[in-house]
Chains A and B, each alone.
Chain A
Amino acid sequence: MSSRIRGVVSGALAIGVALALAGCAATARYSPDVVRLQDELARIEGDDRIALRAERELAEAGDAVERLRTKGRRLGDEDFDHGVYVAERLIAIAAAEGLARDAERRARFLSTEREALLIDARTREAHNVEDELEDDEE
């Protein structure tokens, strides 16, 4: 009798564990789309031009991917596909914003350098004219 009770208890435990594992699996959705989005997000996070200059956009994209991973299974196919579409765009927005800001920063630097070179060139030109005038006077 006791072995029968033990059998029932262990059976119930096994079912409980199985249900708990199924519950865990249901909370996350590792579809190929989610994995692809995670990879793409990780790739642009590894690019300093983007990581340093598009923090807000990267966080927004990261939230969208994380929402798909954790709540994706509860979504219908239409909502899941929509979430993938939005997350893809948010990642692309983060990349474009980061690269735009990096290029704008470089343009400001080059613009300053060009001004300095122009001043340098004009100063040399003025000195040359000055020297020529002095030579003529002598």
Chain B
Amino acid sequence: MPRALLARAEAALARREWSSAERAAEKALVDARLAAARTRQLKAEHVTAELEVAVETLRTEVVRSTGDLQP
């Protein structure tokens, strides 16, 4: 989507349609920023979910090993 908008901005620029070019360029910019932010969000949430599972597994193991040690 940002690439298509950028191409539209370039085409408008070539036709000397300044306002149209500016609008398309601004749309491309905010779309690219949004894509980057969403990618970062999804990646961070994925890492967090994996860590939650790993920590929960370790907690269970620690509790079990503590129980095993008790007479």
Contacts and interface: CB of A to CB of B under 8 A. Distances in A.
B58 interface: yes
A96 B61 CA distance: 35
Contact of A110 (B27, B45, B52): B52
Instruction: Describe A's contact surface by its main secondary structure.
Output: helix
B69 interface: yes
Interface in A85-126: 85-86, 89-90, 92-93, 96-97, 99-101, 103-104, 106-107, 110-111, 113-114, 117-118, 120-121, 124-125
Interface of A: 78-79, 82, 85-86, 89-90, 92-93, 96-97, 99-101, 103-104, 106-107, 110-111, 113-114, 117-118, 120-121, 124-125, 128
Interface of B: 23, 26-27, 30-31, 33-34, 37-38, 40-41, 43-45, 47-48, 51-52, 54-55, 58-59, 61-62, 65-66, 69
